[in-house]
Amino acid sequence: MSTEGFAPILIDGKWRPATAVGSFVGENPVTREPSPTQYPISDWADINAALTAAVSAFEVMQELPRKQIAAFLRSYAEALESKTDHIATAAAEETGYAFSPRLREIEMPRTVGQLKKAAAAAEDVSWRLPTIDAELKIYSVLEAIGPTVVFGPNNFPLAFNGISGGDFAAALAAGNPVIAKAHPSHPATCRLLAECAQKAASQANMPEGTVQMLYKFRPEDGLRLVQDPRLGAVAFTGSRSAGMKLKAAADAVGKPIYLEMSSINPIVILPGALEERSGEIANEIASSVLLGTGQFCTKPGLILALKGELTESLIKNVREKFADAPCGTLLDRRTQDHLVGSINVLVRAGATVVYGNEAPKVHRGNAWANTLLRATGEQFLRSPQELMTEAFGNSTLVLVADDLQQLYRLLSHCEGNLTGCVYSARDGRDDVAYDRVAKLLRPRVGRLLNDKVPTGVAVSPGMNHGGPFPATGHPHFTSVGLPAAMRRFTRLACYDNVRPNRLPSILRELVS
């Protein structure tokens, strides 16, 4: 089909017309006005071209000095910094997120910081765990895994974007070319980012196919892509349904795929904590649930507390905050549909609406009223799967357990989550219960928190933004936190009796 007027795609170092099988437009989620630009839905030919270029790029990248990759990442970070206002404006239009502080003061600095940290890690070798057995002449090291496809999510247009976010930075810094799949709900933002990435790559003299970007392709081509033998690995952040399809395709051919799919992030509030600081906790929880209109992977979607007056007053407090808070914008129509659908699943499974669950009165874009639900422990035990449905957006479910024994039973049904949090009294009166709760939560969550909401995933070397299935595909890996996140994009390479001058430089330096 004719692609005249469609936005170009970034393949092999050049912006060029797509071989399109269709097109789509962006949409302002606040006004539901379409963008003027048509973006192409790529045919397999585009994906194939990107793979070919990535293979060539990878061949060159394996020989590059570490500091060259670092220089690229730094120069990209600086380019983004200098274009912050421009990019944050575009992202605000496409996502409904506030230009300031969310995009300009929070997400862009985080994105820039990640790229700079990745640059530093690219120059380091220790995270590759080089291991020398001098006596047996057996050496090993984690080496770049090969061309990596990054599927970015809708909810962090900069910090998790396939062309600029955490997976991008980690894969690149580990030495791999990246083929980014832009998220179709913020294509203009992706384009601006990719322009900076391409210029920085060119300035740093990186091979042409180091960074590439497609806007969209058919689902069947996505499955074909993740099975392609030319590909080293796949990173995906998004919905469980899409993630599970990609996982099945990749698993069938043994392709490493790192997924971040869904999480309801349980928070357990023990009775002593409520006695001590119920109002404070209600504040923290309400803010955490509504932050970014609840569109965080770590949004607390399940609050567990014990039956009683204090919990009733906590619910009342949160309800008031939900009522007082403005109703935020949801990222796109699908997010709204999905939120409404998920709340319906929860309600059908027995949850009661405490507040919300209706179309907001004043909002004409994608939005749904801040929604607070409650259910009993008994209801949960009857329908645990349904009541653990992730309602991505400004909604949460309070689960009121009859007593501690029932609370423990509820937790024993919890699936894998990114985070789990326990609020307990400062004076120690909850400590016995804490021990039981923490023991139940620990194997079910990647990050265990005390007295703190889980939203806000610090880019710390100690971070685990990961967790057991179905939150992710493998509990060994994290997608945030450098250098740990980079290890995902490596394979273990052993050299046995290989002549010293033929060893890769990292090992050669250590052996000689």
Which residues are near its own copies by CB under 8 A? Answer: 59, 129, 131-133, 136, 138-140, 142-143, 145-146, 232, 247-248, 251-256, 416, 419, 434, 438-439, 442-443, 446-452, 454, 458, 460-464, 466, 468-470, 472-478, 481, 484, 487-488, 490-499, 502
d(CA 250, CA 90): 34
Other Cβ atoms less than 10 A from the Cβ of 466: the count is 27
Locate all alpha helices (DSSP H) within 132-264, ordered by sequence.
Answer: 166-173, 187-203, 219-226, 240-252
Residue with tokens 């890690």: 121
For its own copies, give the closer residue by CB, 131 or 352.
Answer: 131
CB-nearer residue toward its own copies: 136 or 362: 136
- Find the shortest distance in angstroms from Cβ 204 to its own copies: 23
What is the smallest separation between the CB atom of 285 and its own copies, expressed in angstroms? 15
Cross-strand bridge partners of residue 398: 303, 374
Q: Toward its own copies, which CB reaches closer, 253 or 359?
A: 253
**What are the structure tokens assigned to 381, written together?**
């035990």
To the nearest whole angstrom, how small is the minimum distance from the Cβ of residue 129 to its own copies? 8
Could you identify the residue written with the tokens 């609020």? 423
Expressed in percent and rounded to 5, the helix, strand and coil fractions of the chain are 45, 20, 35
Please state the closest distance from residue 454 (CB atom) to its own copies, in A.
8
N- to C-terminal Cα distance for the chain? 58
Q: CA-to-CA distance for 512 and 405, rounded, in angstroms?
A: 61
Task: Examine the residue annotation and report whether 276 is marked as an active-site residue of this protein.
Answer: no
Comparing CB distances to its own copies, the nearer of 93 and 430 is: 430
Choosing from 297, 327, 414, 421, which is the catalytic residue? Answer: 297
Pick the closer one to its own copies by CB: 345 or 493: 493
* Strand 257-260 to 131-133 pairing: unpaired
Beta strands in 190-260 (DSSP E): 211-214, 233-237, 257-260
Residue with Cβ nearer its own copies (9 or 106): 106
Q: Which is nearer to its own copies, 25 or 458 (CB)?
A: 458
Distance CA 130, CA 191 (A): 38
| 319: its two tokens | 């309800």
Q: How far is the CB of 462 from its own copies (least distance, A)?
A: 4
Q: Which of 260, 386, 390, 415 is labelled catalytic?
A: 260
Shortest Cβ 467–its own copies spacing (Å): 8
Distance CA 78, CA 483 (A): 21
Q: How far is the CB of 296 from its own copies (least distance, A)?
A: 15
Question: Taking the complex as a whole, how short is the minimal distance between the CB of residue 314 and its own copies, in angstroms?
Answer: 20
Distance of CA 292 to the CA centre of its chain: 14
Per the structure block, which two tokens stand in for 374?
Answer: 């409650």
Side chain identity at residue 248, one-letter code: A
Q: What are phi and psi of 189, to 5 degrees?
A: -60, -45
Cα–Cα dist 490/277, whole Å: 46
Indicate the residue among 84 and 140 with the shorter CB distance to its own copies: 140
Is 251 in contact with 283 (CB distance < 8 Å)? no
Structure-block tokens of residue 251: 């698993």
Active site residue 494: no
Query: How far apart are the C-alpha atoms of 191 and 8, rounded to whole Å?
Result: 9
- Crossing angle of helices 84-95 and 108-123, rounded to 10°: 120
Backbone angles phi, psi at 242, to 5 degrees: -65, -40
Which are the catalytic amino acids?
260, 297
